[in-house]
Amino acid sequence: MLHLTHEPIDIQALLALDRYPECGGLALFVGTVRNHHQGMSVESLSYTAYAPLATKRIADIENDACRRFGLSYCRVVHRLGSLRIGDVAIACVVRSGHRAEAFEACRHVVDEVKHQAPIWKEEHYTDGSSAYVQGCCIRPDAHRDTCDGDHP
C-alpha cells in the first residue's frame, strides 16, 4: 500500500487483522476533514506534497517506530488532492505485543509525519477564500510547538 494516495484511504486494507497473531495491541488513528479552523468555516481542503521526500520520510518514521516501540507493523497513508468535510485525510495503524506501546507509537508516528513530511494543506472556506495553513515545521531541529496538534 502506498504512503500517499489521491484515492480514498482503505482502512480495512490497513488493518489486515489476521496477519499478526503475535500482536495483542492494535492502534488506529484516522484524521478526517473538519468544517472549521480558527473561526473560519471550511468547505474543503487540498493536500499537495513533494512526493519523493514525503514517501521517504514516512517510511523512515515507520521504520524508526518499529525499532523504538518494538512494533510488528506500522503503516501511514496520507491523502492528496481535494477532500470534502468528513473525508479521511490520514490513517495510521500500528501493531504491537501490548496496547500501551500501540497507543504511544500511533501518536508518535502521526505527530512525526506532521512534523517531518513535506505535505501542505490549503483550506477552502465557505466565503470563497482560501489559505495555506501553517502546519508543523519539517526541520528536525526546529521546535515542535508550531503544530496545534489537531489538523488531520
* Total domains, the chain: 1
Residue 147 has pLDDT above 60, yes or no: no
Q: Mind listing the pLDDT tens digit for each residue in 43-75?
A: 999 999 999 999 999 999 999 999 999 999 999
Residue 143 has pLDDT above 80, yes or no: no
> Domain containing 89 — which CATH number?
3.90.1170.40
- pTM, 2 dp: 0.87
69 domain residue, yes or no? yes
Q: What is the mean pLDDT of residues 28-38?
A: 96
Question: What pLDDT was estimated at residue 135?
Answer: 61
150 domain residue, yes or no? no
Q: What is the mean pLDDT of residues 131-145?
A: 60
**Single-letter code of the amino acid located at 134:** Q
Alpha helices, H only, 37-98: 51-69
Q: Mind listing the pLDDT tens digit for each residue in 69-121?
A: 999 999 999 999 999 999 999 999 999 999 999 999 999 999 999 999 999 99
148 domain residue, yes or no? no
User: Among candidates 8, 18, 116, which has minimal Cα distance to 63?
Assistant: 116
Question: What pLDDT was estimated at residue 16?
Answer: 79
Q: Which three cell numbers stand for residue 9?
A: 484511504
Positive or negative: CA dihedral 34, 87, 112, 94: positive
The whole domain housing 81 covers: 4-132
The label of the residue with cell 515542535 reads: 144
141 domain residue, yes or no? no
Question: What pLDDT was estimated at residue 25?
Answer: 95
Q: Which three cell numbers stand for residue 55?
A: 514517501
